Amino acid sequence: MHANVKQNVVPLITPGLKVACSQCNLRELCLPFGLSDDDMGRLDHLIGGGRKLKRGHYLYRAGDPFESIFAVRSGFFKTDVLTEDGRDQVTGFQMAGEILGMDGIGTEVHTCNAVALEDSEVCLIPFTELEMLSSEIHSLQHHLHKVMSREIVRDHGVMMLLGTMRAEERLAAFLLNLSQRFSARGYSPAEFHLRMTREEIGSYLGLKLETVSRAFSRFQDEGLISVQQKHIRIVDIPRLKTLLAPTDGRIG
Amino acid sequence: MHANVKQNVVPLITPGLKVACSQCNLRELCLPFGLSDDDMGRLDHLIGGGRKLKRGHYLYRAGDPFESIFAVRSGFFKTDVLTEDGRDQVTGFQMAGEILGMDGIGTEVHTCNAVALEDSEVCLIPFTELEMLSSEIHSLQHHLHKVMSREIVRDHGVMMLLGTMRAEERLAAFLLNLSQRFSARGYSPAEFHLRMTREEIGSYLGLKLETVSRAFSRFQDEGLISVQQKHIRIVDIPRLKTLLAPTDGRIG
DNA sequence: TTGTTGCATTGACAATTATCAAAGAGGTGC
DNA sequence: GCACCTCTTTGATAATTGTCAATGCAACAA
């Protein structure tokens, strides 16, 4: 089998963590966005508590019955799809405030795996109950739709990346995306720790790990970033951005 | 500017077509799936009529305010994303019974273009009203969520294709996908007319049009399909499928 | 018919990325 | 500290796909 994340087979999750949207500093990034205090209280009621996951453990696996979606409270996840013939595609990396598990709604079964890339915590949001509550709270319903729609738009961005960009462009886009998301969470946009391996980055970007590694090295040689294993410092964000708008074949 | 679809600038749509889900032979494929007669009647009420589009005309464009989603009644569409720097990625091809426009929910603005690749008809589904109705009809709400979730899962499949497959595998997957969808609509799974150009196929598959053309020719040489311009006949579906499960690096 | 236009095919060659292989770095447990 | 393990880096070479260019084909209009 592929050098997949870890050797554990059972999704070792620890129940019983007390959580409340109304107390959560991620609420503006997450599902309760825009709710009144009153409605937020009703959402608190519904959240099925939290779960802690150790690094390498699965939040869910392809084939698991779908019951809940999850909000990342802390930590870092990847989702990937594994086909019968051994193909493995990382479909995303999720960090605090982001929602996981919406792939399972359509089939009632999860269609990808979600793995913690570091020790993490999630909130469990039972989906049937979320639907019930969202038919009473219009803003919750609408926000759920927005979250799903944004996931579709994000996927389109990945298709664009995979379909039209070259290796270095893909990596630049990836770094800038991480930078922006860390920044939105109050962390440095210029300096961060990668939670995933070169192979996982490569899988996400449709490249082999060696190609990812070489692109990192090239960026470093050109003074765009500084890399030390998983530690990244972006030295020149503007110039990194120009890598994405290449030959300047502009129109108007 | 790129050899984009057509020279029209205004989305020339013709309003006033009378439609009713309850009378529609696509209802089992489309949004009203699973509704009672009674609820279907309420959905009929909400559908904002139909629109006809001539080939080459836009159903919506990136930047248009989002108001409705659309169900394809007949015809064939493509959606694509165009970036400032001139990249163009086809994100999907849609046929009868499929839903268009969900990309716009999250931002209240459409994020891609939808173009008719042949003369087509769509049903217009005002989204705010759909949300209102779906908070009253649980099965409608749930089905909407399923439709959105399946779009996410479909996108994951495209990522897998773009991230892990080689040119011929991508084209085989593409043909088999079309075949299956035509089949589900009562058309021949083995013989059909492509509505899109080689360039559009290439954009969808992350390949150049020449590569697509060469792959078609190779398939024909090997007796898998017969190609004459846009007319395709799949001669050997099983063997085409084996192209997707390649080196047989199976596990168990 | 003939010319025009857009799309498709094919060939020769170049660029990009993958593959294979070896060595280096860093962390963990003993 | 030392051994082990995983991950990363780098080089040499091969495979795949892109690029450029020419020709072919089909539909359509004059």
> What are the DSSP calls for A77-140, one per residue?
EEEEEE-TTS-EEEEEEEETT-EE-GGGTTTTB--SEEEESSSEEEEEEEHHHHHHHHTT-HHH
The pLDDT score that the predictor gives to residue B49 is 84
How many CA within 13 A on the CB side of residue B17?
Answer: 17
Which residues of A, range 81-140, sit inside 8 Å of B by Cβ? 81, 83-89, 91, 102-107, 111-112, 131-132, 134-136, 138
CA distance A91 to chain B (A): 6
Helix (H, G, I), strand (E, B) or coil at B52: strand
State yes or no: pLDDT of A86 exceeds 90.
no
Q: Which residue of A has its CA nearest to B135?
A: A135
Question: Region A84-95: what's the mean pLDDT?
Answer: 94
pLDDT digits (tens, 9 = 90+) for B14-38: 455 667 899 888 988 999 999 999 9
State yes or no: pLDDT of A104 exceeds 90.
yes
Residue pointed to by tokens 């963590």: A17
| B227 nearest nucleotide via C1' and CA | C8
> Does the CB of A229 sit below 7 A from strand C?
yes
As separate numbers, helices (DSSP H) first and strands (DSSP E) second, chain B gives 7, 12
The pLDDT score that the predictor gives to residue B246 is 61
> Does the CB of A162 sit below 7 A from strand D?
no
Altogether, the residues listed in chain B come to a count of: 252
Task: Name A204's Cβ contacts closer than 8 Å, sequence gap at least 6.
Answer: A78, A89, A90, A91, A92, A93, A158, A174, A196, B163
Tell me which chain B residues have a C-beta less than 8 angstroms from the C-beta of A84.
Answer: 245
pLDDT digits (tens, 9 = 90+) for B64-91: 999 999 999 999 999 999 998 889 999 9
Task: Name A25's Cβ contacts closer than 8 Å, sequence gap at least 6.
Answer: none
Tell me which chain B residues have a C-beta less than 8 angstroms from the C-beta of A155.
Answer: 152, 155-156, 158-159
State yes or no: pLDDT of A8 exceeds 80.
no
State yes or no: pLDDT of B145 exceeds 60.
yes
Kindly report which listed range (A21-30, A116-125, B130-139, B216-225) carries the lowest average pLDDT score: A21-30
The pLDDT score that the predictor gives to residue B19 is 73
Question: Region B87-102: what's the mean pLDDT?
Answer: 97
Kindly report which listed range (A202-211, B39-48, B204-213) carries the lowest average pLDDT score: B39-48
Q: Which residue of B has its CA nearest to A136?
A: B135
The pLDDT score that the predictor gives to residue A108 is 98
Amino acid (one-letter) located at B252? G
Q: Would you tell me how many other CB atoms lie within 10 Å of the CB of residue B41? A: 13
* Residue A162 and residue A223 in contact, taking contact as beta carbons nearer than 8 Å: no
Q: Token pair of A237, please?
A: 């964000």
How many CA within 13 A on the CB side of residue A175?
Answer: 34
- Burial classification of residue B61, based on how many CB atoms lie within 10 Å of its CB (0-12 exposed, 13-18 middle, 19 or more buried): middle
Degrees, nearest 5: CA angle B63-B67-B68: 110
Q: Is the CB of A89 less than 8 angstroms away from the CB of B164?
A: yes
Q: Give Cα B189 distance to the centre of its chain.
A: 17
Alpha helices per DSSP H over chain A = 37-46, 127-134, 138-164, 167-184, 198-205, 209-221, 237-242
Q: Is the minimum CB–CB distance between B147 and chain A shorter than 8 Å?
A: yes
Computed over every residue of chain B, the mean pLDDT equals 90
The pLDDT score that the predictor gives to residue A28 is 86
Q: Token pair of A23, please?
A: 């107390």
Question: Region A114-118: what's the mean pLDDT?
Answer: 96
Q: Are strands A191-193 and B14-17 parallel, antiparallel or unpaired?
A: unpaired
How many CA within 13 A on the CB side of residue B197?
Answer: 12
The pLDDT score that the predictor gives to residue A13 is 46
Question: Region A158-167: what's the mean pLDDT?
Answer: 98
Q: Would you tell me how many other CB atoms lie within 10 Å of the CB of residue B121? A: 19
Q: Are strands B99-100 and B14-17 parallel, antiparallel or unpaired?
A: unpaired
A101-A111-A17-A54 Cα dihedral, nearest 10 degrees? -120
Where does the pLDDT of residue A155 fall: very low under 50, low under 70, confident under 90, or very high at 90 and above? very high
Which bases of strand C sit closer than 7 A to a protein CB? 7-12, 16-21, 25-26
Residue nearest to nucleotide D24 (CA to C1'): B229
> Does the CB of A230 sit below 7 A from strand C?
no
Q: How far apart are CA A158 and CA A228, in angstroms?
A: 26
Q: Token pair of B215, please?
A: 């792959």
The pLDDT score that the predictor gives to residue A84 is 85
The pLDDT score that the predictor gives to residue A17 is 63
CA–C1' distance B169–D8 (Å)? Answer: 30
Separation in Å, CA A161 to CA A87, A106, A154, A194: 19, 26, 11, 20
Q: How far apart are CA B80 and CA B245, in angstroms?
A: 29
Task: Name A48's Cβ contacts closer than 8 Å, sequence gap at least 6.
Answer: A68, A123, A124, A125, A126
